[in-house]
Amino acid sequence: MCLPPEKASELKQIIHNHLLRMDVHGRIREVLAETIKDDEGSVHRPLSEGDFVRALQRRGIIDDVMRDLHFTQQSAPNIDAESPSKPAGHHVDQDSMHLKKTNLDPSRRYLYLQVLGGKAFLEHLQDSEPLPGQVCPTFTLYLHFRNQRFRSKPVPCACEPDLKEGFLLEIHRDSFGDGSKMVDATAMLSMCDAVHLVLIKTDTSGETTLISSYFLDWRMVLGSPSCKTCFAVEMMGVGNESKIPAGVLTVSLELFPPLQETLNTDIIVTQQSLERQRTAEKERLFLVYAKQWWREFLEIRQSHQSKLVKIFAQDENGVNRPVCSYVRVLRAGRLLESPRQAARFVSLLAHERASVVGGGGKQEQWCTLMAFLCRGKGDCEDHATLLCSLLLGFGLDAYVCVGTKVNSGPHTWVLTRGTDGSITFWESLTAHRYLHRPIDPDAPPLVPQPKPSSPYRTVGCVFNHQTLLANCQPSDALELCVFDFQNQSRWKAMSEEALKSVCAPGSTSSLPPLPPLCASSLDPAEVSNHLELEMRFLVSEHRKDLDLATVWDDHLSYLLSSALTAYEMERCTGVSCGNEEFQDAVRRAVPDGHTFKGFPIHFLHRNARRAFATCLRLYIVPFTLTV
């Protein structure tokens, strides 16, 4: 069989990578040493190639290599197959629990990152070894690198967790003209994109906790012999514990294919130092400008001192960053189809404030988008910045509002401005929308005024990825606020150039990269059926304790699925539909003399016991049939 040169090169690369992964060369050396040693005690004769091959066959090495070596087409969907210059595999959440064969492109460069284990997670020092089949808390490691996301399989929490995973990261060029060319050492040295590692702990009830968020500079591998290096990564805590180590991960980095000539270590250190210096200088200049801008804002009115004007916010690592850097233009591809569906998606992420050791009020902690998505929950600021990013991706003029709620403390939500001047508020925690109609304080007393429709009381500032505006109006009461951002007597704007110097993508090396959204790895039908079986069991056991029999009507259960679909559609679109068909079907299914009673409840988790406990507290069982 004759292969074209490019296919032959690809075949050689696959075999080479496979032999490296199995450490076949090391095993061959061991067999060779043993064969020579055994041959010394026998009759002296030259060791032939056939003897050595038979020794490899006896130890099963050849069978192992041939059994695991497969030449198949890539089973993953071909993303953007029509554009070979565009790297494939982005926007795909690689689940390590479902391994896929990958054909390496010999014209591209890859970074193979291996996690070889963890140690010194002292919080779990006293944890006992879990028994086989026992449900226990787990660690999951998430990675993001240049628009690629990966996830490890969960492992039991321990002082030395068995986190052993390998991730193949593609190193591609940013420009589409050179996207199909293999990156060289100089191009890789200029890439300041770090590998973002996020460690999440999941307890036995399914609750997630952010353990650590670490940005790994991988470029030291460019100066390592054979383009391979291994080192320990100290994973620091988050929030108040950001200066305290949470644990240590042993990480190995390797370039495929390796560089012909590695870089001098001094060159890499100098490049990193120059990037840090440029970033520090930009941040220093912005801080000087921000202080001057704030002084000018206070000179307008002394009462501005009490307004909620947010310029900087602290992330999970305790780093102060401009609030505008938390918002980016985020396009969800085909995952989200409309702005309202985006609002529904954000509202499904649970709301949880950052914990404070010992109490004492709310701890403010704005999370990076990667940490927020991996954890699956966060504070109102995390929800608002994500929703604003998605609405900007859908082409809306969106801003994050910082203010207060009625009968509550500080709060953030999202505002969009229509081309007709209309103002709409979006509550990111619930996906509710409110149309803003300001009160005219100069109107005659008899003129009817609009009643407040939103739950918000005051607004101090608004911002997005390019703009930050402080409220200069005499009162920060929302009902009196006019959102005419071009009017400098009402809103004081920060310089867009100053914001761009520290908030624009690629402006500083300390700016976290924007991760893509990924499709869910869950099968909705399978999860729904499993949850229904668990709920049925809990209801039956509860009624058995009350000496009540339970009979399930599978036909009626099927009819209720249309109601749940209608409820979800109403949450996404704001339009109710299908109610007439559902009522008619239920009337035909319920026997004479019986009454159907049902009440929908929305949960942000899949824990059947917690859901059933909530139903009992409300004295209802979802969709019950009573006589």
Share of the chain above pLDDT 70, in %: 83
pLDDT of residue 60: 72
Q: Which of 474, 503, 532 is the last residue of a domain?
A: 503
- 229 and 149 in a common domain: yes
- 311 and 222 in a common domain: no
Does pLDDT of 242 surpass 60?
A: yes
Q: Is residue 602 part of a domain?
A: yes
Residue 435 pLDDT level (bands cut at 50, 70, 90): very high
- 492 and 348 in a common domain: yes
Q: Is residue 230 part of a domain?
A: yes
pLDDT of residue 626: 37
Q: Which residue did the predictor score with more confidence, 114 or 24?
A: 114
**In whole angstroms, what is the distance from residue 79 CA to residue 6 CA?**
21
For CA atoms 562, 568, 569, 575, the dihedral sign is positive
pLDDT of residue 87: 41
Overall average pLDDT of the 517-538 stretch: 89
- 424 and 299 in a common domain: yes
Overall average pLDDT of the 358-374 stretch: 82
| Cα–Cα nearest to 413, from 404, 424, 400 | 400
Cβ(109)–Cβ(188) below 8 Å? yes
Q: Is residue 514 part of a domain?
A: no
Q: Tokens standing for 178?
A: 């050179």
Residue 505 pLDDT level (bands cut at 50, 70, 90): confident
Cβ(230)–Cβ(177) below 8 Å? no
- 231 and 151 in a common domain: yes
Q: Is residue 584 part of a domain?
A: yes
Q: Is residue 54 part of a domain?
A: yes
- 333 and 240 in a common domain: no
Looking at the structure of the chain, the number of domains it has is 4
- 463 and 381 in a common domain: yes
Cβ(598)–Cβ(563) below 8 Å? yes
Mean of pLDDT over the chain: 84
pLDDT of residue 94: 44
Does pLDDT of 80 surpass 50?
A: no
Cβ(134)–Cβ(95) below 8 Å? no
Does pLDDT of 493 surpass 60?
A: yes
Q: Is residue 141 part of a domain?
A: yes
33-47, 195-209, 221-235, 599-613: which has the minimum mean pLDDT?
33-47
- 448 and 313 in a common domain: yes
| Cα–Cα nearest to 205, from 619, 616, 613 | 613
- 531 and 497 in a common domain: no
Q: Which residue did the predictor score with more confidence, 561 or 233?
A: 233
Does pLDDT of 309 surpass 90?
A: yes
Helix, strand, or coil (residue 151): strand
Q: What's the domain range around 55?
A: 16-34+50-63
Residue 152 pLDDT level (bands cut at 50, 70, 90): very high
Looking up residue 405, the CATH number of its domain turns out to be 3.10.620
Cβ atoms within 10 Å, residue 2: 5
Q: Which residue did the predictor score with more confidence, 148 or 26?
A: 148
pLDDT of residue 624: 42
Highest mean pLDDT: which of 22-31, 166-175, 213-222, 616-625?
213-222
pLDDT of residue 90: 40
- 566 and 495 in a common domain: no
pLDDT of residue 81: 34
Does pLDDT of 175 surpass 60?
A: no
- 498 and 531 in a common domain: no
Looking up residue 211, the CATH number of its domain turns out to be 2.60.40.150
550-579 per-position pLDDT tens digit: 988 888 888 888 888 888 888 887 777 878
Does pLDDT of 627 surpass 50?
A: no
Overall average pLDDT of the 338-354 stretch: 92
450-485 per-position pLDDT tens digit: 788 899 999 999 999 999 999 999 989 999 999 999
Q: Is residue 335 part of a domain?
A: yes
pLDDT of residue 28: 74
Residue 4 pLDDT level (bands cut at 50, 70, 90): low
Q: Is residue 7 part of a domain?
A: no
Share of the chain above pLDDT 90, in %: 50
- 531 and 496 in a common domain: no
Q: Which of 446, 474, 503 is the last residue of a domain?
A: 503
Q: Is-cis flag, bond preceding 137, omega within 30?
A: no
pLDDT of residue 497: 95
Does pLDDT of 74 surpass 60?
A: no
pLDDT of residue 576: 78
Overall average pLDDT of the 2-19 stretch: 62
